[in-house]
């Protein structure tokens, strides 16, 4: 008899607890109601675009949904902490890298101007031409090109390198070509200086200096390919 009474009491208590729990959930002020599923508090958007009647409006920095304790959080998704943790140092490195590579790109574009001019004036500086003015102009443009090229390259060389990133895409071609036009841009002015000396002495360009033209041509071609 007492056992049956105990079971009866347990049943009543359990039912009361269950009813109380359900009642507490339905009256929880933080839990959203069905009618509150759409945004209710709409703050003016930062976006200066006119709203019109377009339903697909983007509004910044506003909460569309009321806070919900049941809503999943980022921690529930199981991402490794190193993927979700902010890294200001890495951001600073990326900022510096992008800044340096932007300068690299702009200087590279600027360098193409004296490069083209050097190639054009080169056709008047060699061969049977005896004009020292053309040679001087060609030499000056060549020196400017080499100087700008080295400055441009240094911004890429000294830009911070990201960790653990495999190089993919057209940048691989860009980097591979640098192994051709880089040495070429060092060799060309050296050979050019030798050719200039020989020509200034009234000699015909000879020896390794005679490679100045072909080396310059290959260098200019690969540089132009970027």
**CA gap 121, 130 in Å, rounded:** 14
Residue of 20, 23, 25, 203 interacting with other proteins (CB under 8 A): 25
Q: Running DSSP on this structure, what letter comes out for residue 204?
A: P
CA distances from 83 to 86, 87, 89, 98, 167 (A): 8, 10, 14, 21, 20
CA distance 217 to 31: 74
88 binds other proteins (CB under 8 A): yes
Among 63, 123, 131, 200, binds other proteins (CB under 8 A): 63
Q: Rule CB under 8 A: choose which of 100, 103, 105, 116 binds other proteins.
A: 105
Out of 20, 23, 40, 87, point to the residue binding other proteins (CB under 8 A): 87
CB atoms inside a 10 Å sphere around CB 124: 14
| Residue placing its CB nearer to other proteins in the complex, 98 or 200 | 98
Taking CB under 8 A as the rule, which mask of x and - marks residues 114-143 in contact with other proteins?
A: ------------------------------
Distances in Å between the Cα of 85 and the Cα atoms of 42, 74, 82, 88 are: 30, 11, 5, 10
Which residue in 163, 168, 201, 204 binds other proteins (CB under 8 A)? 168
Q: Which is nearer to other proteins, 156 or 194 (CB)?
A: 156
Q: Give 170 or 202: the residue with its C-beta nearer to other proteins.
A: 170
User: Is residue 16 within the footprint of other proteins (CB under 8 A)?
Assistant: no
Alpha-carbon dihedral sign for residues 83, 84, 88, 94: positive
CB of 116 to other proteins, least distance (A): 16
Q: Which residues contact 206 (CB under 8 A, 6 or more apart)?
A: 198
Smallest gap from residue 55 Cβ to other proteins (A): 4
Q: Does 53 bind other proteins (CB under 8 A)?
A: no
Q: Is the dihedral of CA 30, 33, 38, 39 positive or negative?
A: negative
Q: Is 68 in the site for other proteins (CB under 8 A)?
A: yes
Taking CB under 8 A as the binding criterion, the range among 18-26, 120-128, 133-141, 198-206 that sits at the site for other proteins is: 18-26
Residue 40 engages other proteins in binding (rule: CB under 8 A)? no
# chain residues binding other proteins, by CB under 8 A = 65
CA distance 14 to 149: 82
170 binds other proteins (CB under 8 A): yes
> Least CB distance from residue 199 to other proteins, whole Å?
38
Alpha-carbon distance 191 to 65, whole Å?
71
């Amino acid at each position: 008899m007492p056992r049956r009474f105990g079971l009866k009491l347990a049943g009543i208590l359990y039912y009361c607890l269950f009813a109380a729990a359900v009642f507490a959930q339905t009256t929880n002020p933080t839990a959203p109601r069905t009618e509150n599923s759409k945004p209710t508090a709409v703050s003016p958007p930062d976006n200066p675009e006119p709203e019109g009647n377009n339903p697909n409006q983007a509004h910044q920095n506003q909460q569309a949904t009321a806070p919900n304790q049941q809503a999943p959080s980022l921690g529930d998704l199981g991402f490794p902490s190193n993927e979700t943790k902010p890294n200001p140092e890495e951001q600073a490195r990326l900022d510096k890298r992008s800044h340096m590579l932007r300068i690299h790109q702009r200087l590279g574009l600027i360098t193409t101007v004296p490069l083209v001019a050097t190639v054009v004036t080169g056709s008047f500086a060699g061969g049977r031409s005896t004009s020292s003015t053309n040679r001087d102009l060609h030499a000056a443009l060549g020196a400017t090109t080499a100087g700008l090229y080295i400055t441009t390259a240094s911004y890429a060389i000294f830009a911070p390198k990201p960790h653990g990133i495999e190089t993919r895409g057209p940048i691989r071609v860009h980097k591979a070509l640098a192994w051709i036009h880089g040495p070429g841009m060092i060799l060309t002015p050296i050979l050019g200086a030798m050719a200039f000396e020989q020509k200034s002495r009234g000699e015909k360009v000879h020896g390794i200096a005679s490679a100045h033209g072909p080396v310059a041509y290959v260098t200019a071609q690969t540089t132009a390919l970027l």
